[in-house]
């Protein structure tokens, strides 16, 4: 089945700086890659996603890039704000009939 690795596990950045979280996947047939933000006591919130036929997607301060050859994808957050502090999860949907496979999460801390 699919395996997703996510790095780093914790990321601390100054407010206003950029944050980058990276993930790799194992199944070359994977075709859908969402990113979720989870705040304490809440369920994961879909913030952006990308499909395998697209290399990059942006939504205001958030962007995701996908390199199918290397089997990795990244989340970029620019001009970070205190409300960006949360745990971020990457995920991939494999070529089989499984649901989403998630990375272990990145705890993003925005320092004021």
Contacts 24+ apart (CB under 8 A), 61-69: 62/35, 64/33, 64/35, 66/33, 68/28
Least separation in angstroms between residue 98's CB and other proteins is 6
Question: Of 70, 83, 97, 112, which one interacts with other proteins (CB under 8 A)?
Answer: 97
Question: Of 53, 70, 99, 112, which one interacts with other proteins (CB under 8 A)?
Answer: 99
Cβ proximity of 108 and 87 under 8 Å: yes
| Using rule CB under 8 A, residue 45 touches other proteins | yes
Candidate ranges 12-20, 52-60, 77-85, 98-106; the one touching other proteins (CB under 8 A): 98-106
Q: What is the DSSP letter of 18?
A: -
Report the interface residues with other proteins, using CB under 8 A.
1, 31-32, 34, 36, 41-46, 49, 89, 91, 93, 97-105
């Amino acid at each position: 089945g699919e395996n997703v690795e996510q790095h780093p596990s914790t990321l601390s950045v100054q407010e206003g700086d950029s944050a980058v979280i990276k993930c790799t996947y194992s199944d070359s047939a994977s075709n859908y890659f969402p990113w979720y933000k989870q705040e304490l006591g809440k369920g994961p919130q879909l913030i952006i996603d990308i499909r395998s036929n697209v290399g990059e997607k942006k939504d205001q301060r958030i962007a995701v890039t996908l390199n199918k050859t290397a089997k990795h994808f990244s989340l970029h957050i620019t001009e970070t704000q205190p409300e960006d502090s949360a745990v971020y999860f990457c995920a991939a949907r494999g070529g089989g009939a499984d649901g989403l496979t998630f990375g272990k999460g990145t705890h993003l801390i925005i320092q004021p």
